[in-house]
Structure 1
Amino acid sequence: MTRSFFRAIAMVFITCAAATGLAQTLDPKSVELAKTVPIADIHMHTYSRNGPSTAEVVERMTANNIRWGGGVGDLRIDIADALRGRHIPAAGQREFAESFIRQGASALIETENVYFRDLFRDAHDMFAKGTIKGFGELHTNNENSGPQPFRRKIKTDNPVIRKFYTIANEFGGFVQLHTQHNAEFTEDILRLSEDFPNTTTILSHCLPHGQPEDLANLFKQRKNIMCEMSATGELHNRLARVNRPGRAYSANGLRPKWKALIEEFPDRIMLGSDTCCGWDAHYGEAITEIRTNLLPYLRFDVIEQVAYKNALRVFKLDAGR
């Protein structure tokens, strides 16, 4: 066989390795920082029913050096009291879920829905007192990215979501959305983020079915859109028994296009665990996956920003350690 043949084979290997992250050279400083950097968990579920106790939540956070957490799930005053300035209290997910389960997807766009009425009435006072800082996780389109009985698809720019944005806008709050990427969503979220400039949109899981270029398109057009990277590795696929590689990172490392996105927009990306759906026992695995397969592949100067500094800024958290 000719030398050119072996050269061609080598180029194929290098190309494949780069595509999977194998060709990435790790900075030893990044590897060490990834092990110890404190993390803000922006997708930390805290269910009222069959959820972990306050002591269990605090223990898991401490064991994994998670200094701040919240952003989704049921509003639990016990956890808020335990974490105080380290908590990111959110409301709306329980009401959204109850309405869908009992009334169906069509009820999720009705502002006079009994499940939303009390929340909308009380939300201003809750923001003013610091009881909540935003709303989430609100599922508008998870028809291909959630447990089958929980799937639905509604338009993101609808009267109910607009009401959430209107209230959050008055207080500089956030709305965390779980929705899949498509052209209609892009139009909706660009319109909402323009109409409510004081509301920060957080895209759960960095927009399921979205590619780095789709997120870059949104980030370039709006300063108040961010995303969090929970469930973009391999663990959640294994837990869901889905035979699919990690969307953004895997045991082979962080995919080059995702690395490029994060390092181009380091002020727009945050981290999350998303141990929903009875997966609380896997919390440590979710954080370990982030520390070993995602963070070490970032530039040293970006790691702290993504791990917690963006969250401190957006949610006005207590920076004390």
Structure 2
Amino acid sequence: MPAFANSVCAAVLAAAAMSSLAMADDAATPIGDAVKDLPIFDAHIHYKEPAWDAYPVKSIIQLMDRNGVVMGLVSSTPDEGTIMLWEYAPNRIVPELRPYHGNAGSSNWAKVEGMQEYLRGRLDTYPHEGIGEFHIHRLDPFDEPLFRDVIKLAKERDIYLHVHSGADEIRWLYGLDPSAKIIWAHAGLGESANGVYRLMKERPTLLADTSLKEYEILDGQDSLHPVWKKIIYQFQDRLMVGSDTWVNSQWDDYDSIIASNRAWLSLLPRDVAEKIAYKNAERVFDRDISMDLIGKR
């Protein structure tokens, strides 16, 4: 090949390499301040009875609007709270059925007589798209029939179980039915980042909401915890943010909770931030999610 042709070829290859590097750099550039423009799907909302007077349904949607929270996955103690929100703003609320009602709470719900009938009755009456968030504080073999029924109820409707537990309890549920659809509440809450990574890698269909993990994910003001960074990038299609408004003080702090989630999302490339902020929820719950819903019900 003539020397001139060689030099042209080298120049073309160099330019192509530089272009590829530039594209890679663009893909890795954090979204930064533009994160404020992303719609948020809040995948862990409760509207429990103590909030009903302090925060009427209208005020909840106003709080969501103010923070760019376009839609939310809501469960409540009792379920009437979820239904009140959904009836007020059906385009903004994805309802799921929490088992807690009457004397049934987080520590004993699996042993309450008539639980299967209660769950089936509510699921037949209202358009819940999940069962949960419910707690499994410890494994009890005597609870297996109830959990098999709960999994069956979810599978009949092709909906998710939203489970607050450690990793072993999630493994146990998959042992009852490997095809169960599960959202891991708080990404395990008490589980270490390494424990979260192991289970997410082990179970490729497992989804997780990151509520109450926002300050663990941030490693300082402008960096991600190294293990959480690995979790986020490797499992970016399976994570959603959440607030966990389990007590009224969480509603009091809703602005700062959403801001703290935007803080760690701002450190991610746009495409990854968009998935976790709302696009994964679009896929999971078959919704169109955009800022156009702000101010609407």
Q: Is this a same-fold pair by TM over 0.5?
A: yes
Give the equivalent residue in structure 2 for 1:9: none
Alignment of 1:30 onto 2:31: yes
Alignment of 1:140 onto 2:160: no
Contact 1:162–1:192, Cα closer than 8 Å, also in 2: yes
Counterparts in 2 of 1:94 and 1:264: CA distance versus 1, 3 Å: same
Alignment of 1:188 onto 2:159: no
Moved runs in structure 1, 4+ residues, more than 6 A?
A: none
1:49-90 deviation digits (Å, cap 9, x = unpaired): 433211111100000000011243243323112332331101
Contact 1:200–1:224, Cα closer than 8 Å, also in 2: yes
Give the equivalent residue in structure 2 for 1:247: 216
Moved more, 260-269 or 155-164: 155-164
Give the equivalent residue in structure 1 for 2:58: 55
- Could you tell me which of 274, 291, 302 is aligned with 2:272? 302
- Could you tell me which of 92, 96, 120 is aligned with 1:90? 96
Give the equivalent residue in structure 1 for 2:241: 271
Deviation for aligned residue 1:220: 3.1
1:103-123 deviation digits (Å, cap 9, x = unpaired): xx4x4333x614x24423314
Alignment of 1:179 onto 2:165: yes
Aligned residue pairs: how many?
Answer: 257
Give the equivalent residue in structure 2 for 1:148: none
Alignment of 1:281 onto 2:252: yes
- Could you tell me which of 78, 99, 103 is aligned with 2:104? 99
1:234-288 deviation digits (Å, cap 9, x = unpaired): xxxxxxxxxxxx3222543421210111111111110001122221111111001
1:187-227 deviation digits (Å, cap 9, x = unpaired): 31331450xx2x42111111022233333333333333111
Percentage of pairs with the same residue: 24
Distance 1:164 1:33 in 2: 41
Distance 1:249 1:193 in 2: 34
- Could you tell me which of 51, 64, 67 is aligned with 1:64? 67
Contact 1:259–1:297, Cα closer than 8 Å, also in 2: no
Distance 1:315 1:47 in 2: 23
- SS at structure 2 position matched to 1:92: coil
Contact 2:116–2:149, Cα closer than 8 Å, also in 1: no
Counterparts in 2 of 1:251 and 1:212: CA distance versus 1, 3 Å: closer
Give the equivalent residue in structure 2 for 1:231: 212
Give the equivalent residue in structure 1 for 2:20: none
Distance 2:128 2:192 in 1: 31
- SS at structure 2 position matched to 1:301: helix
Structure 2: where are the runs of 5+ without partners? Answer: 1-27, 293-297
- Could you tell me which of 150, 154, 171 is aligned with 1:164? 150
Distance 1:167 1:39 in 2: 29
Distance 1:88 1:218 in 2: 26
Counterparts in 2 of 1:251 and 1:72: CA distance versus 1, 3 Å: farther
Distance 1:70 1:283 in 2: 15
Alignment of 1:213 onto 2:220: no
Structure 1: where are the runs of 5+ without partners? Answer: 1-26, 142-152, 234-245
Counterparts in 2 of 1:59 and 1:193: CA distance versus 1, 3 Å: farther
Distance 1:210 1:247 in 2: 11
- SS at structure 2 position matched to 1:91: coil
Distance 2:182 2:150 in 1: 11
Give the equivalent residue in structure 2 for 1:203: 184
| Largest Rg, 1 or 2 | 2
* TM-score normalized with structure 1 length: 0.72
Deviation for aligned residue 1:185: 2.5
Counterparts in 2 of 1:33 and 1:91: CA distance versus 1, 3 Å: same
